[in-house]
Amino acid sequence: MRYYSLNKQAPAVDFQAATVAGQAPDGGLYFPERIPKFAPELLRNLPTMPQAEVAFEVIRPYVGDTIPEDVLQKICAETVDFEFPLVPVTERIAALELFHGPTLAFKDVGARFMSRCLGYFSRQQKEPVTVLVATSGDTGGAVADGFLGVEGVEVVILYPSGKVSPLQELQLTTLGQNITALEVRGNFDDCQRLVKQAFLDPQVAAHRQLTSANSINVARWLPQQFYYCYALQQWTQKSPPVVAVPSGNFGNICAGLLAHASGLPIGHFVAACNANSAVADYLRTGTFTARTAVVTLSNAMDVGNPSNFGRILELFEQRHAAISQLISGAIISDEQTKETIRRVYQETGYLLDPHGAVAFKALKDYLAEHPADQGIFLETAHPVKFPEVVEPVIGQVVPVPAAVQGLLSQPKHSILLEPDYAALQEFLLR
């Protein structure tokens, strides 16, 4: 498998080179030269296959011969060694819970897979690698946990000051070792802009070998296909589900679309957005306009110019009619988000996080207009990560899972950074 840049001004590379580089030298995202088809026996045997085996079969064509099969099998087994339960919430809606990993967020899968791939690749080279990543919430914690202690890899995480939840911040700033947190006085788009500038800076390139662990990196993006396979493993209805995905940088839903293109039977996708609605507006109008990010209660989705939207356009050969036929956009306000959390908890006992609430509401609205369909929404983070949103709505404290309780007593360590590139450049050249 080879990967080409969406900017079409750089040579095609293999999985190892794409993973280590993160972004192509022309500033474009890497995209696979072909979309592999799932084997008929994979789809037929899906309900009974072990999770690790599913992951291996899905990702093997993308990795090619850059990682030996026995090593890749071990990487897959370690990546998905926790549950991905499909939980009924109403008669027509189920939640695919993606928060049972070590940092209670769906990003654990991509971060664990990528860290192990990069760990394998780094053993083959002398020069250390710096993982430079921007986070709007959960990516940073998952990356920090996934890469903690990996030899030959330094991790630098940029996050927007005051715009991630307290637990998310602790997951970024308390680990130490090879993890450094840069607290940017700005928003997520500022963090992402700074990261992109660093990748195009020849001075930094001469000083450090940079890669990114955002969903722009193929090793972070591609394993997200696993979620959709695990959802279908547990789907017992005859007709394919409608799947609603909380969408910010659009890597997750793009991976689902890739799995669909490979043959996974999904009936329709709903891109569930908050007030940051650039892609939802495109789906409705055919015109895309990047915007400045707006702060909302579902902070991990506060992205005004989603990086992975370019991959969705590429997957559909820029054809708006084809895209809008398979994907619907939904825009859910903060008030609707809170009301959804309250109502679903009161009526079903199921506690949503703000991102899951956006997806649940979007799916419910879609199903109201399609009475023959049933659906799944992705619950991407544990509600305990957003106590300032969830607890006032339901009127009670969300218990902290044992997996993260130890963080609460740890001191925060971060470096404050102004949102201008000179400050980041100075840090990276030190």
Give catalytic residues, as residue numbers: 107
Taking only Cα atoms into account, the Rg of the chain, rounded to an integer number of angstroms, comes to 20
- The helix (run of H) or strand (run of E) holding residue 377 is strand 375-379
Please, are residues 26 and 34 in contact by the beta-carbon 8 Å criterion? Answer: no
Question: Which amino acid is located at 400 in the chain?
Answer: V
Please, are residues 6 and 29 in contact by the beta-carbon 8 Å criterion? Answer: yes
DSSP state of 249: S
Segment 313-318 long-range contacts (CB within 8 Å, at least 24 positions apart): 314/6, 314/31, 315/35, 315/254, 315/257, 315/258, 315/261
Q: Round to the nearest angstrom and report the end-to-end CA distance of the chain.
A: 37
Closest by CA position to 424, among listed 254, 192, 224, 269 = 192
- The burial of 197, by beta-carbon neighbours within 10 Å (0-12 exposed, 13-18 middle, 19 or more buried), is given as middle
378 vs 375: CA distance, rounded Å: 10
Sign of CA dihedral 62, 68, 73, 77: negative
CB proximity list for 383: less than 8 A, separation 6 or greater: 351, 352, 353, 356, 390, 398
Give me the torsion for CA of 417, 418, 421, 427, rounded to 10°.
-20
101 vs 295: CA distance, rounded Å: 27
How far from 240 is each of 83, 232, 374, CA to CA, in Å? 22, 8, 8
**Is beta strand 268-273 parallel, antiparallel or unpaired with respect to 327-331?**
parallel
Burial pattern 120-152, b for ≥16 Cβ within 10 A else e, equals bbbeeeeeebbbbbbbbbbbbbbbbbbbbebeb
Can you read off the two tokens belonging to residue 225?
A: 């296909």
3-state SS record for 159-194: EECCCCCHHHHHHHHCCCCCEEEEEECCCHHHHHHH
